[in-house]
Amino acid sequence: MSAVETLLLVSAILGLLTGLSVVVLSLTWLERKFLGRIQMRIGPMRVGPFGLLQPVADAVKLMAKEDLLSSWVDRVVYWVAPLVVFVPTFMIWVTIPITRDLVIRNLDMGLFYIIALSVLSIVGLVTAGWASSNKYAVLGGFRAAAQLISYEIPLILAVLGVAMLAQSLNLENVVNSQGAFSYALIQPLGLVIFFVAGLAELGRTPFDIHPAESEVVGGPFVEYSGAHWAVFFLAEYINTFAIAALTVLLFFGGWLFPGLPGDVSGLGVLVFLIKTYLVILVIFWVRGTYPRLRIDQLMSLGWKVLVPLAFVNVVITSVYLFYGWPAWSLSLMSLAILGTAVWEISRRMRTAPTPEYTVRLYVPSSEASSAG
C-alpha cells in the first residue's frame, strides 16, 4: 500500500469517526425530543435553540466527570471492556455503504463480516459485567450474553434470506438488486424478523433486559462513569444507527428510490439518511410505547417464535428460488406466514389460562415443629 493510499484510508476512517459522533449527538437529541412529544412534553429546550446544543453539553459533562473506580474491580479488564464493545461496532461501519461510492472498503463478504463483528461486542458486555465486581453488573452481563446469543440466530437467518435473494453478500450488490422492488415488499416476514431481532441485539426498549434500570440498575454499566461510560453510550447509539442502516440497505433499497437516479452521490446520501432516520424514529416510537419484556418472555419470543419463523423464511425463499416463481408469490407466502403467526400468537394469548399462584410461607423448621 502506497503512502497516499494509507493517508486516504486514515483520513476516511477519521472522517467516519467524526461523522458517526455527529450522528450519535443528533440521535440523543432526536430521541429525547421524540420521547418528549410522545409523553406530551417538549424535551430539552434550554441549551441552544430548541435544545440543539444539549448533546454537546452532555458530552462535555461526561468528559469532565470524575472517572470513579471501585476498589475491587479487575482493572485491566475493566478499562479494556468499553473498547471491546466500541471497536467492533465501529468496525462494522467500514463496509456499510452510505451510497454507491461512499464506503471505506466494499467487501464481497460484507454481510458475513458485519455479522461476525457484531457478535464480538457481547464479549465486552460480559467482561464489563464481570470486571465490575458488582452483582448487578455480573447479572446484567450474563443477561446480555443470553439475550444477544439467542437473538443472533434469527438475525443471521433473516440476513441469509436477503443474501439468497440478492445472490451476494456484498452490500452494494444487495442494494442494486433492489432496483425494481425493495425486499421489504418481497420478504415482509424477513423484515419483521430482522427488525425485532435487531432491536433485541441493540438491547433497546422492549428488549433492554441487560441494562434494565429497575432490575439490575444499568447492568454491565453500573460501575462505569465519565468518559468510559460515554464510550458504551457511543457504542450503543452507533449500533442503533447501524441496525437502522442495515434495515434500510437490506430491505428498503438503501440509496435507491423509485423515480430518482441511483448514481448521483449527493442525492443517494440524502435518500439513505432520510430512510435511516425514519427507521430510527420507528425504533424510538417502539421505545416510547412498549414496556420491558420479562426475561422468560424474551427467551420464548426468541426461541419459540423468531427462530422457527426465520427458518420458515429461509425455506420459502429457497423454494421460490429453486422453482423460479415470480416475485409476488414469495411476498404472498411471506405475508401469509406472517399473518398466520400473528393470528396464532394472539389466539394463544387470548385463550392462555391465567396461571394459578400458590403462596407458600417460609416457616423455619424449629417453629413449625413447635406449632405442631
Partner 1 sequence: MLGNLKGLMVTLSTFFRKPVTYQYPKEHKPIEDRYMGFPVLMWDANVGEPYCTGCMVCVRYCPTSCISAVMKDNPLHADGQSTRRKIVDNFEINLGRCILCGICVDVCNFDAIEMSHEHELSKYARNGNRTDLSKLLEMGKAYQEETGWRPEKETKKEEAVEAEN
* Closest distance to partner 1 from the beta carbon of 290 (Å): 7
Residue of 6, 11, 18, 39 interacting with partner 1 (CB under 8 A): 39
User: What one-character DSSP code corresponds to residue 73?
Assistant: S
Q: Which is nearer to partner 1, 41 or 65 (CB)?
A: 41
Residue of 9, 13, 30, 45 interacting with partner 1 (CB under 8 A): 45
Establish if 342 lies at the interface with partner 1 (CB under 8 A): yes
Establish if 290 lies at the interface with partner 1 (CB under 8 A): yes
* Closest distance to partner 1 from the beta carbon of 206 (Å): 9
CA distance 64 to 275: 35
Stretch of 34-42, 95-103, 168-176, 320-328 lying at the interface with partner 1 (CB under 8 A): 34-42
CA distance 218 to 233: 12
CB 77 within 8 A of CB 138: no
The 3-state DSSP class for residue 202 equals helix
User: What one-character DSSP code corresponds to residue 278?
Assistant: H
CA distance 275 to 273: 5
Establish if 288 lies at the interface with partner 1 (CB under 8 A): yes
Please, which residues have CB within 8 angstroms of residue 116's CB and are 6 or more apart in sequence?
none
Please report where in the chains the cell 415443629 appears, as a residue. Answer: 369
Establish if 345 lies at the interface with partner 1 (CB under 8 A): yes
Q: Which is nearer to partner 1, 37 or 105 (CB)?
A: 37
CA distance 367 to 164: 67
Q: Which is nearer to partner 1, 51 or 82 (CB)?
A: 51
The 3-state DSSP class for residue 65 equals coil
Q: Which is nearer to partner 1, 10 or 345 (CB)?
A: 345
Establish if 40 lies at the interface with partner 1 (CB under 8 A): yes
Residue of 6, 70, 289, 318 interacting with partner 1 (CB under 8 A): 289
Could you tell me which of 300, 142, 291 has the C-alpha nearest to residue 207?
Answer: 291
Q: Which is nearer to partner 1, 34 or 241 (CB)?
A: 34
Q: Which is nearer to partner 1, 226 or 288 (CB)?
A: 288
CB 216 within 8 A of CB 132: no
CB 174 within 8 A of CB 265: no
| Phi, psi of 218, rounded to the nearest 5 degrees | 105, 0
**Binding pattern to partner 1, positions 299-328, x when CB under 8 A?**
------------------------------
Residue of 37, 65, 135, 304 interacting with partner 1 (CB under 8 A): 37
Establish if 70 lies at the interface with partner 1 (CB under 8 A): no
For partner 1, the binding residues (CB under 8 A) are: 34, 36-42, 45, 285-286, 288-290, 342-343, 345-346, 349
